[in-house]
């Protein structure tokens, strides 16, 4: 599996069950999984993967505000600028139905086992 595709799959996995922020959760999750395979994954790679996922309709970006509000009401049109580390954690990402289909597909080249260890 090509490195960029591996990072995309890790990012998709990170956003498959909840809204997640790059600097709060996604980068940490992806970097930890990459380290298990001996790779150092940078924030820029995660942002690039998210950009591609959003462009392909596999993920969507949101601005979440307050509690109790409908999280889907803050959907953004496309990928927001992510050049600077977010300190206020306002931009979140979530998998789409199409993204979930890709995520659940049986990919024989996936390099991690069910426990997240290199296979």
Residue 84 lies in a domain: yes
Q: What is the CATH number of the domain that holds 30?
A: 1.10.10.10
Residue 111 lies in a domain: no
Residue 73 lies in a domain: yes
Residue 110 lies in a domain: no
Residue 83 lies in a domain: yes
Residue 118 lies in a domain: no
Could you give the number of structural domains in the chain?
A: 1
Residue 77 has pLDDT above 90, yes or no: yes
Residue 48 lies in a domain: yes
pTM of the model: 0.86
Residue in the block written with tokens 């889907």? 72
Residue 116 lies in a domain: no
pLDDT (0 to 100) of residue 88: 87
pLDDT (0 to 100) of residue 104: 87
Residue 65 has pLDDT above 90, yes or no: no
Per the structure, the complete domain to which residue 19 belongs is given by: 3-104
- Concatenating the DSSP letter of every residue in 71-108 gives GGGGB-SSPPP--S--SS--EEEEE-HHHHHHHHS--T
pLDDT (0 to 100) of residue 109: 60
Element (H, E) at 61: strand 59-63
């Amino acid at each position: 599996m090509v490195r960029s595709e591996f990072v995309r799959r890790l990012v998709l996995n990170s956003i498959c069950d909840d809204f997640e922020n790059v600097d709060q959760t996604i980068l940490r999750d992806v970097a930890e999984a990459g380290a298990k395979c001996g790779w150092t994954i940078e924030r820029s790679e995660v942002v690039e993967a998210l950009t591609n996922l959003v462009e392909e309709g596999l993920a969507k970006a949101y601005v979440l505000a307050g509690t109790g509000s409908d999280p889907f009401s803050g959907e953004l049109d496309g990928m927001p600028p992510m050049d600077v580390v977010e300190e206020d954690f306002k931009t979140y990402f979530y998998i789409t139905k199409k993204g979930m289909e890709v995520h659940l597909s049986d990919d024989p080249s996936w390099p991690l086992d069910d426990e997240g260890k290199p296979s």
